[in-house]
Structure 1
Amino acid sequence: MSNEHPYPPAFRSGDLVTVSGRLGVTGTGELVAGGFEAECAQAFANLDAALRSVGANRADVVKVVAYLTDIADRDGLNRVYEQFFAEPRPARSCVGAASLPYGGVVEVEALARVRDV
């Protein structure tokens, strides 16, 4: 698998940050072992890293879209989501997808607004 993509993992324009879809892959581009929960946790860890790469963090996130190849995994997504984000949690959509890159079972993308402190 190639880690080269024609887009950045995250893009910042002023106080607006968009994060491209993050999969449950390691730095080498391989899916983590362990099934949905492991992939989901890794996808959110990758989301965290993408946010940090542009000077944002999870507290700045206002909207998340999650894509699942099996919508029955929504409860598992909710468990990871609750652990990842503190209250008040950002808005979230969950969409069923026929397939995801690299055979992944979950992909997350986000919109954030960086607050001036």
Structure 2
Amino acid sequence: MGPHSPCVDIKLSHSSPISKPPVNPHRKRFLTAVYSFTNRQQHQLSPRAPLPYLQNHDNKLLLVHLAEHIEALGQLIHRKDTAMSTHPYSTWRQQGETYYVSGQLPTDPATGTYPEGIRAQTQQALSNLETAVKEFGCGRQDIIKTTVFLRDFADFAQMNEVYAEFFSEPYPARSAFAVAGLIPGADIEIEAIVASGGRS
């Protein structure tokens, strides 16, 4: 490869402690874009200027790490797409600056099962809700309204104690209902409305 080739070459020498990760078309396109941007910034080149060959080892490492993050995100999107192919709903939808998050069950992502007891299930459902909210860059402080569905309203007091520890003032608006049709094994489900500006 010549010193002014616009192509990307991330081959590392045998003496390098970093092994070359598997290459796929998505990584190649991403590396090309990041390589173009970082080198033009570093050398203060115009958008149409030829790119110098990337020699700096640290820059190569940065590109490899960025590609790994992009691939992880791609796998997450693939898993979501796979899930959506069997269930006709979205985990969340956006309208302007407001996000609507579907009900989150107390499923332990590590085991695929529900923990025992309403306290543990409430904590897990809230954790799953926060994970969903983080997908679009928000956090629990941005949740402005929740709806809590309980299998048995006698569990309300214990649920409420865990809920109060999870959120801080000003608390989100909330509705709570006892329902008979929750998925077997689940004692709680929580859905939310989120505003990117947070609660005020």
- How would you bin the TM-score normalised by the shorter chain? 0.7 to 0.9
1:35-114 alignment runs, 5 A limit: 35-114=117-196
Deviation of residue 102 (structure 1)? 4.0
Please say if residues 99 and 105 of structure 1, whose CA atoms lie closer than 8 Å, have aligned partners that are also in contact: no
Number of residue pairs matched by the alignment: 115
Deviation at 1:29, TM superposition (A): 7.1
Bigger helix fraction:
2
What is the CA–CA distance in structure 1 between the aligned matches of 2:114 and 2:153, rounded to whole Å? 20
How far apart are residue 35 of structure 1 and its match? 1.5
- TM-score normalised by structure 2 residue count: 0.53
Match of 1:17 among 99, 111, 136: 99
Structure with the greater alpha carbon radius of gyration: 2
CA distance in 2, matches of 1:111, 1:12: 10
What is the alpha-carbon distance in structure 2 between the residues aligned to residue 80 and residue 35 of structure 1?
Answer: 12
How far 1:76 moved relative to its partner?
A: 1.2
> Secondary structure in 1 aligned to 2:146?
strand
Quick one: distance in 2 between partners of 1:74 and 1:23? 16
The 10-residue stretch of structure 1 (46-55 or 31-40) with the greater mean CA deviation from structure 2: 31-40
Structure with more relative contact order (C-alpha pairs < 8 Å, separation 6 or more): 1
Shift of 1:31: 2.9
Q: Where does the alignment leave 5 or more consecutive residues of structure 2 unmatched? A: 1-82
Q: TM-score, normalised by structure 1?
A: 0.88
In structure 2, the partner of 1:30 is 112
CA distance in 2, matches of 1:36, 1:30: 17
Aligned counterparts of 1:68 and 1:20: Cα–Cα separation in 2:
15
Return the letter of the residue paired with 2:93.
F
Counterpart Cα distance in 2 of 1:66 and 1:20: 11
Q: Per-residue displacement from partner, 1:18-67 (whole Å, max 9, x unpaired)?
A: 11000000226733322211111100000000100112211111110000
The percentage of aligned residue pairs carrying the same residue is 35
Amino acid at match of 1:26: D
In 1: Cα distance, 2:145 partner to 2:179 partner: 19
Which segment is superposed worse, 7-16 or 51-60?
Answer: 7-16
Say what the alpha-carbon RMSD is for the aligned residues. 2.0
